[in-house]
């Protein structure tokens, strides 16, 4: 495997972990993971891209080795502000190239819309957003959110890394057993003998404090000016999970009028883990690596 390096940076009061692969003079690409994931799952993409790339991947607040947010409350705007702070803290240059998966893909789109001068190229992998809600839902929605955040914050546990890897394989059938075990060992930590706990704040299982408004999302997607690649996995069920119809997905794609659209076969939502070689080919086609 391509070796990775770790460092910790302070972002808006939280100690956050950042993983990197490659040489400092390689083609730079910032990688943003999705919900209930962390930076380690980009290992297979790093292996597929090879040494000519300089990859940087943070663990979002409350995931992986990064510090949890007080109170277990997380919002899209928290991730957006953390991303802005990260790019400054690591001095990644006047412009960055970003690949974001799922949650990370949507946050990358938010950043490209709000800081257009700072994003050179954008790859959005399965980052089509959540179930669209209407403003009239706000009172009941926020009441439910208040109830949820009062609950306990006990991390999900499994008897062993092998048990967790089998669960990962069940949800990601195109993943190899070896890769599933690697992911399990980075998604969790051994608490006591016979118990491994997920490295994720259980607060992430709560509702977001803000409604996902499609009009806002369309405005953000429509404000993106950099070259953009929209990537979907053919076996993904993410749209069903978030109640996005085929027509609704087409509407979301169309909001990025100039984006290229590509699909990855034999992959579910976690395409960067299941088909990293196919994703690497799309990355290299979209972003020419340095000679």
Half-sphere CA count of 96, side-chain side, radius 13 A: 27
**Cβ partners under 8 Å of residue 69, min gap 6:** 14, 61, 62, 78, 201, 203
- Measure the CA–CA gap between 288 and 213, rounded to whole angstroms: 35
Burial of 73 (0-12, 13-18, 19+ CB in 10 A): middle
**Cβ partners under 8 Å of residue 247, min gap 6:** none
Among the listed residues 20, 66, 102, 165, the single catalytic one is 102
User: Quick one: which of 5, 27, 29 has its CA closest to 18?
Assistant: 5
Q: What is the DSSP letter of 63?
A: B
- Helices and strands counted in the chain (H then E): 11, 11
Decide if 102 is catalytic: yes
Burial of 68 (0-12, 13-18, 19+ CB in 10 A): middle
Query: What is the CB neighbour count within 10 angstroms for residue 264?
Result: 25
The answer to whether 56 and 99 have CB atoms below 8 angstroms apart is no
Angle between helices 214-222 and 246-254 (to 10 degrees): 40
Catalytic positions, please? Answer: 102
């Amino acid at each position: 495997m391509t070796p990775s390096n770790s460092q910790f940076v302070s972002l808006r009061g939280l100690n956050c972990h950042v993983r990197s692969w490659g040489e400092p003079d390689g083609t730079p690409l910032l990688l943003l993971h999705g919900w209930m994931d962390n930076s380690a799952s980009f290992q297979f993409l790093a292996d597929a891209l090879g040494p000519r790339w300089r990859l940087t991947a943070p663990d979002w607040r409350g995931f992986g080795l990064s510090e949890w947010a007080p109170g277990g409350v997380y919002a899209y705007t928290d991730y957006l502000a953390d991303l802005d702070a990260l790019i400054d803290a690591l001095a990644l240059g006047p412009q960055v190239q970003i690949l974001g998966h799922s949650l990370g893909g949507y946050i990358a789109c938010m950043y490209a819309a709000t800081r257009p001068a700072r994003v050179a190229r954008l790859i959005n992998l399965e980052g089509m957003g959540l179930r669209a809600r209407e403003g009239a839902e706000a009172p009941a929605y926020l009441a439910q959110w208040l109830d949820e955040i009062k609950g306990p914050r006990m991390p999900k546990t499994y008897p062993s890394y092998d048990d967790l890897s089998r669960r990962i394989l069940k949800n990601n059938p195109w993943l190899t057993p070896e890769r599933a075990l690697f992911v399990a060992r980075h998604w969790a930590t051994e608490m006591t003998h016979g118990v491994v706990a997920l490295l994720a704040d259980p607060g992430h299982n709560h509702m977001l404090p803000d409604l996902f408004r499609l009009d806002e999302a369309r405005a953000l997607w429509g404000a993106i000016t950099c070259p953009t690649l929209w990537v979907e996995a053919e076996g993904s069920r993410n749209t069903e999970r978030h109640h996005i119809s085929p027509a609704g997905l087409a509407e979301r794609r169309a909001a990025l009028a100039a984006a290229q659209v590509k699909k990855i076969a034999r992959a579910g939502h976690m395409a960067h883990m299941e088909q990293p070689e196919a994703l690497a080919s799309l990355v290299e086609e979209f972003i020419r690596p340095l000679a």
